[in-house]
Structure 1
Amino acid sequence: MSSTISTTQGSNTAMRLGLLESSHAMPTAVPFGQAESSSRDVDDTELLSISWNQDYGCFAAGTSHGFLIYKCDPFKETFRRDLKNGGFIMVEMLFRSNILALVGSGANPQYPSNKVMIWDDHQNRCIGEFAFRSDIRGVRLRRDRIVVVLEHRVYVYSFTDLQLLHQIETLANPKGLCCLSHHPNTSVLACPGLHRGQVRVEHFGLKVTKFINAHDSSVSCLTLTMDGLLLATASTKGTLIRIFNTMDGSRLQEVRRGVDRAEIYSIALSPNAQWLAVSSDKGTVHIFSLRVRVIGDDAFNRHPPSQGPAMVHQNSSNSIDALVSPNTGANPSSSLSFMKGVLPKYFSSEWSFAQFHVPEVTRFLTAFGSQNTILIVGMDGRFLLVFPFSFTLLFSLLARQVFFLMHISRCSLVSLEGVISGDEIDLDVWKAELDRPKNSLGRSQSTSGSDRFYRCSFDPINGGEMLQQEYVRFLKADTRR
C-alpha cells in the first residue's frame, strides 16, 4: 500500500513539548476557525470519536463539525475548532502540545478518511499530510514518531522529516489496534501479528521483534505501560485480560472480567503498573490489582538518556517480578479456588477489585487519573434501562457427561457440558451469571446521552464499588472557563 506525503514550507514548528521540522514545500489544507458558543446547536453535533492524550491528562473529541480538546483535572474545555462541513473521526493529541493528527470523516472532500493531517493549532494550518489508497484505521503519536494504521499494515514515520522508517504487515485490523510506549528512553510498538490471537512487539531501540501468542481468539484490545515493558491484552471473547512481559513474551498475570462474551472497549494500566482498568459493553468498569511490578520504579531516572534504551530495557526487564504490594488489596477469587487443581481454571480466576457501573449501550474509554482515581469518557449512547440481578449461579464439571453439582445460597444448579473451551468460557451455550465475588453487583439505572465524563475514586485497600466524584455532559455543558 503506497502513500503520499506532503509538508508545508517552513514548518519548523515550535511545540511546547518538541520540535517538528520538514524540508519539502507544498501547500496543503486551508485552516478552519474557532466556533463561538452560540454558533452551532449542540443537538446538531454528533460525537464521532474519543481519544486520550499520552499522559491521560486530556482527551480529544472528534465531532461531525470539528473537534474539541478537554483538560481532565480540573475538567474544562481547552479549545474547539469547527468546520462548516464535515468533521473528524480521529483526533490524536501529542501530549499537551499544539500538534495534532486529524483524520476526516469523509463528509468534506477536503478532509477524506484516507488522509492523515498533521495539524499545528498554533499556526492554524496543516504542516504535513499522509495520503493512502484505503481508509485510515488508527493514528498514534509520540514525540519522535508518527504511526499510521491501515487494515493490513502499520507505517512508522519519523516526526522530524516525515520519512518512512518501518512497514509492518498485520492480520486484518479493522479496529486499528496499535499502541506505543512514551518514555523517552524506550521505543516500543505493539500491534496484531499475522496469526489470530498473536501480538507483535517491536523494540525499535534494541532492534528486537517479539511475537506473543496472547489468546486463542482474535485480539480485540491492547495497551502498553509508558515504558513499554508490560503489555495487557483482551480477546474478542472479552472474558480474560492477560498481562505479558514484552521482553521475553512471558505471561505474568491473568484476570477475569466476567464469564459471558463482551466487547472490550478499553484497557488502561496505571503509571506505576499497580492497577489495571477495563471497560466493556456490559456496563461495568472494572479495576484489577496487578501482581507484577518493575522493581525499582526509578530505574529510568537512574540511567541518563545517553546510555540508550538497551541499558534501560536490560535492567528493567530483569526487575519484573510477580508480587503483591503490601499497601493494596488483592483481587477476589472464586469460593472454589481451593479446588483449582481439580476443577477448570475458572475456579482459580482473579476477579475485579473495584467496579463502577455505567450505561451498557455507551462506549466508554477509561484511564487512570491522580492517585486512586479513574477517568471515564463515553460516547454513542441512547436510552438504557438495566434491571438488577440478585442471584448467583453455581456451576459444575467433572468430565464430558458427568456433572459435579454443588449448591450455595441464592443459587441455582446448572450443568456446564460444552461450556468450557480452553481457558475461556463460551456463553453461547450457557446464558447466565456464574459465581462472582460479592463486591461486584449489578444495579438498575436509566440514562440517555453519549457525551459523558466521570471521575471516580476507589479504595486501594478494600476495593468494592467506586465513588463518583464528578459527572459532566461535556458537549451540552459550558465547560469553558
Structure 2
Amino acid sequence: MNLQDSPCNDLLYLCFNQDNACFAGGTNTGFFAYNCEPFTETTRKNFSSGGIGIIEMCYRTNILALVGGGKVPRYPRNKVMMWDDVNNRCIGELSFPSDVRAVKLRRDMVVVVLDRDIYIYNFQDLKLLENRRTIVNTKGLCALCPHTNHRVMAFPGKERGLINVELFDIQRQVIIPAHESELMALALNYDGTMVASASERGTLIRVFSTASGNMLHELRRGAERAIIHSICINPSSTYLACSSDKGTIHVFSLMDEDRNDVKDSLQRNSNPLASSSSETDTQRLERTELSSSRSGNVTNKPISSGVSVSTGQGSFLSEGQQQSLSSTFGVFFKSVLPKYFASRWSIAQFRVPETRMICAFGSQKNSLIIIGADGSFYKVLFDPQKSTECEKVKYFKFLSAEEADVH
C-alpha cells in the first residue's frame, strides 16, 4: 500500500510478505519489519537522511527490495536497490527511465512495475528475462504467485478493465475482460489458480480462473462506490477478504456450497423489493408494487403493468412517455436487480477507523491480520457459520509516538 500520495505521518509504504507471516513499512527516515504472530519487531533501519517509498520482503530472508521516497529519498525513485539486512548494505541495483511504481519478489524472480512497463529479472544475477507492456498503471498493480512450483503473474492489460495473466511454466498468456472501468486492485491465490480484482467503482470483486479466464465468483462489497485498498485470498482458497476507504473489512466465502443464506435473508428482509425465498428475483420484482408520492399524487402499479411517473406538480407525463419509461424501468428492474441480489455478500465484517488499511489471512484458522496507515495492527477472528462482526483478539501500535504524529 503506497501512502506517498497522501501521507498522514512518517509512514510511506506498507506491505505483507509472500506468506503473510510478516509485514514491512517504509518511512521518511528508513524502514522496519515485524513478525505478525507473535507480534514482534524483527528489524528497523534509520538512515541519517532519506526515506524509503517502497519496500518488498522476500519471504523471511534477509533480502529486501528498496526504492527511495518521501521528502528526501534515500535512493533515486527510478532505482531498485537490493538490500542485505544482515550485512547492512546494497548488493545490487536496477535502474529505469522512469519512477518505479512497485516491486514484487519470488525466490527466482524480481518484478519491477513502471507506469506502462513491467520488467522481469532473474533473482540470482538480476539478468533481464522478459518485459510486458500495460495500460497506464500509476498504482503499480501487479500480483505474483508465491507458490514454489507455479510461476504466475497478473497485471493490467493494454486496455481499461483487462487483466493479463502470465502462466510462465506453460508459456501462455490469458487475457480476462474483468471490468468495464479501470482496475483498482489485484490479487492471486497461493497456487496461482485464481485471480481476484476490483475496479475503481469498488462495489464488486470478481474472481476468475487463471487457466481459462472464466469468472468463478462475483462478490458484492456494497452498493456505494468505494476505493478498494487490498484483496487477499486464504491459502486454501476458501475465503477472500478486502479492505476499502469505507472503514469496513469484508470476508467472503468462495465455497460453492455456501450460498450465503444468512446474508440473503437479511437483504430480503431489509429491502421492499424482496419477498418469499421460494420466488426467483424476477418473480419477486414482477409481483412487487412501486409506490411514489409527490404533492399529494400517489401512483401504485405493478411493474409488469407499467410505471407511472409523477412530475411533482400534480400532472403526469403523456401516455407515450409513460410507456417509454415503463419499458426502460422494466428492463432495469428485471435484468439489473436480480444480478444485484445474486452476487455473494460478505459473511463477516470488521469496522476499523477510516484510515487506509490492508489485510491478510493469519496462520490461525479463520483469522485476519489488518494493518493501517495510522500504525494500527489488528488480529481478528471470524465465524463462517454466522453473518456477524469479527472478534478483535489482538491490537498493537507499530509506529512510535513521534512517527505517528500528524504532519
TM-score relative to the length of structure 2? 0.78
Give, as a single letter, the amino acid of the residue that structure 1 aligns with 2:360: A
1:340 to 281, 293, 303: 281
Residue 107 of structure 1 deviates from its aligned partner by: 4.4
Give, as a single letter, the amino acid of the residue that structure 1 aligns with 2:257: V
Cα distance, 1:54–1:456 mapped onto 2, change above 3 Å? same
2:353 to 353, 359, 378: 359
Matched with 1:465 is 389
Q: Are residues 1:103 and 2:67 paired?
A: yes
What is the CA–CA distance in structure 1 between the aligned matches of 2:149 and 2:142, rounded to whole Å? 19
- Deviation track 1:218-238 (CA, whole Å, cap 9, x = no partner) reads 110010011100011000000
Alpha carbons 2:380, 2:392 under 8 Å: kept: yes
Alpha carbons 1:330, 1:353 under 8 Å: kept: no
- Deviation track 1:49-72 (CA, whole Å, cap 9, x = no partner) reads 100000000000111110010000
Q: Are residues 1:474 and 2:398 paired?
A: yes
Alpha carbons 1:277, 1:286 under 8 Å: kept: yes
What is the CA–CA distance in structure 1 between the aligned matches of 2:262 and 2:175, rounded to whole Å? 29
- Deviation track 1:202-231 (CA, whole Å, cap 9, x = no partner) reads 001100000000011111001001110001
1:324 to 254, 257, 267: 257
Residue 185 of structure 1 deviates from its aligned partner by: 1.0
Q: Are residues 1:238 and 2:202 paired?
A: yes
Matched with 2:159 is 195
**Equivalent residue of 2:31, what SS?**
strand
What is the CA–CA distance in structure 2 between the aligned matches of 1:288 and 1:359, rounded to whole Å? 21
**Equivalent residue of 1:332, what SS?**
helix
What is the CA–CA distance in structure 2 between the aligned matches of 1:330 and 1:279, rounded to whole Å? 23
What RMSD over aligned residues (CA atoms) do the two structures have, in Å?
Answer: 1.8
Matched with 1:319 is none
What is the CA–CA distance in structure 1 between the aligned matches of 2:375 and 2:13, rounded to whole Å? 10
What is the CA–CA distance in structure 1 between the aligned matches of 2:9 and 2:202, rounded to whole Å? 31
| Structure with the bigger percentage of helix | 2
Q: Are residues 1:272 and 2:265 paired?
A: no
**Equivalent residue of 2:208, what SS?**
strand
Range with bigger deviation, 106-115 or 157-166: 106-115
Cα distance, 1:245–1:213 mapped onto 2, change above 3 Å? same
Q: Are residues 1:173 and 2:173 paired?
A: no
Question: Map of 1:100-179 to 2, 5 A cutoff?
Answer: 100-105=64-69, 107-108=71-72, 111-179=75-143
2:189 to 205, 213, 225: 225
What is the CA–CA distance in structure 2 between the aligned matches of 1:144 and 1:199, rounded to whole Å? 23
Alpha carbons 1:289, 1:331 under 8 Å: kept: no
Q: Are residues 1:285 and 2:249 paired?
A: yes
Range with bigger deviation, 347-356 or 211-220: 347-356
Alpha carbons 1:66, 1:86 under 8 Å: kept: yes
Matched with 1:375 is 369
Residue 329 of structure 1 deviates from its aligned partner by: 6.4
Residue 85 of structure 1 deviates from its aligned partner by: 1.1
Give, as a single letter, the amino acid of the residue that structure 2 aligns with 1:475: L
Residue 288 of structure 1 deviates from its aligned partner by: 0.4
List structure 1 runs of 4+ shifted beyond 4 angstroms.
106-110, 328-331
What is the CA–CA distance in structure 2 between the aligned matches of 1:374 and 1:178, rounded to whole Å? 22
Give, as a single letter, the amino acid of the residue that structure 2 aligns with 1:471: Y
Matched with 1:350 is 344
Cα distance, 1:290–1:108 mapped onto 2, change above 3 Å? same
Residue 375 of structure 1 deviates from its aligned partner by: 0.5
Q: Are residues 1:184 and 2:148 paired?
A: yes
Residue 476 of structure 1 deviates from its aligned partner by: 2.5
Give, as a single letter, the amino acid of the residue that structure 2 aligns with 1:251: M
Residue 121 of structure 1 deviates from its aligned partner by: 0.8
Residue 112 of structure 1 deviates from its aligned partner by: 1.4
1:74 to 9, 34, 38: 38
What is the CA–CA distance in structure 1 between the aligned matches of 2:260 and 2:225, rounded to whole Å? 27
**Equivalent residue of 2:340, what SS?**
helix
Alpha carbons 1:288, 1:331 under 8 Å: kept: no
Matched with 1:62 is 26
5+ residue gaps, structure 1, are: 1-43, 292-322, 380-449
- Deviation track 1:314-344 (CA, whole Å, cap 9, x = no partner) reads xxxxxxxxx226xx96672231374434352
Give, as a single letter, the amino acid of the residue that structure 1 aligns with 2:281: K
Residue 113 of structure 1 deviates from its aligned partner by: 1.0
Alpha carbons 1:45, 1:65 under 8 Å: kept: no
Give, as a single letter, the amino acid of the residue that structure 2 aligns with 1:218: E
Residue 347 of structure 1 deviates from its aligned partner by: 2.4
TM-score relative to the length of structure 1? 0.67
**Equivalent residue of 1:212, what SS?**
strand
What is the CA–CA distance in structure 2 between the aligned matches of 1:162 and 1:330, rounded to whole Å? 51
Residue 460 of structure 1 deviates from its aligned partner by: 2.1
**Equivalent residue of 1:160, what SS?**
coil
Equivalenced residues, count:
331
Fraction of identical pairs, as percent: 48
- Deviation track 1:26-84 (CA, whole Å, cap 9, x = no partner) reads xxxxxxxxxxxxxxxxxx96011100000000000111110010000011111100111
**Equivalent residue of 1:162, what SS?**
coil
